[in-house]
Amino acid sequence: MRIGIAGLGQMGSAMARRLLAQGHDLTVYNRSTGPAAEFAAMGATVASDLQTLAAKVEMVFTVVSDSADVEAVVLGKGGLLSGAHADSLIIDCSTIDPQVSLKVGNAVRQAGFRMIDAPIGGRPAQAEHGKLTFMVGALPEDLERARPVLEQLGSRVVFCGAPSMGITMKVVNNLLSQSIQLMDLEAMALGMKAGLKPEVMLEVLTSTAADNAPLRTRLPESVLNGKYAPGFSAQLAHKDQGLGHTLAARLGVPLFTLGQARQIYSIALSQGLGQGPSEIVAKVLEQLADVELRFTQPPRP
């Protein structure tokens, strides 16, 4: 299939490598030319602009940072809509305001073309192995057209409902997952300040009702080893939590438990930590609690 990707950040690049490995005719576009050069060397076509990208492919994934980017990429002058044709399907994988997603999707559909929102759960490494989760908001017939390709990229494709419901699900997911991670870090700081060893805490917490994914992944792999490898950034986490708070305010839903996490991320950004992975907020808690979140001995395999 002739497939395009607009946006070659960490996730877009990982998806591009997976699609090439699956044998698709891939065309890519990125605002800066550097990332695209890698894929030209791998056999992909590099589009000079978004209009050309849309005209060349049957299906185009957009993987960009925020609401304004999606509007510009799809609806802006020379954007994807200007190059759309009868077979065009736009699949937006970005995490943005659900209202903006609905607005952009409606504009595409009113112009006679097709668009679905399919934000992603997972990391770039999972994309390269076809293990992502897609949360899809779509007209059913549009999802069925996209499904074969989504299933090459992901092990789970969840139909969340009508257009914009996929991105709504992603906003809720990220608000919860990032808050859980921060609660894990606070609990770890409390226990270690009281004298508990982190390896003991992990053994207990991962075997009780307190168990959750960050306890098994980002804390032991990153924070407690002091190795903050590039990943989903604190800056993007802060943005996503803002989307969750905006959604809650719009709907009149209180966030008693989920409402405070963003403040810690705000402090992290003010300290210049925004480009680090989301778990880098541990450094803020270390300062506030005067405790170092590190293993005291290597964890048992």
Q: Where are the alpha helices (DSSP H) in 76-164?
A: 80-83, 98-110, 124-128, 140-153
**The amino acid at 260:** Q
Q: List all residues 6 or more positions away from 119 whose beta carbon is below 8 Å from its beta carbon.
A: 92, 93, 94, 95, 134, 135, 166, 167, 169, 170
Rounded CA-CA distance 301/280 in Å is 24
| Residue whose entry in the numeric block shows the structure tokens 């705000």 | 266
Ramachandran angles phi, psi of 60, nearest 5°: -130, 130
Rounded CA-CA distance 199/186 in Å is 15
Q: Is residue 155 classed as helix, strand or coil in its secondary structure?
A: strand
Please check whether residue 28 is in contact with residue 3, taking contact to mean a CB–CB distance below 8 angstroms.
no
CA 166 to each of CA 114, 145, 150, 232: distance values in angstroms, whole numbers, following the listed order: 15, 16, 14, 19
Given the residues 170, 193, 197, 283, select the one marked as catalytic: 170
Please check whether residue 274 is in contact with residue 268, taking contact to mean a CB–CB distance below 8 angstroms.
yes
Q: Which of 138, 120, 116 is nearest to 128 (CA)?
A: 120
Q: Is 56 an annotated catalytic residue?
A: no
Please check whether residue 111 is in contact with residue 85, taking contact to mean a CB–CB distance below 8 angstroms.
no
Please check whether residue 60 is in contact with residue 80, taking contact to mean a CB–CB distance below 8 angstroms.
yes
Rounded CA-CA distance 143/91 in Å is 10
How is residue 22 annotated by DSSP? Answer: T
Catalytic site residues? Answer: 170
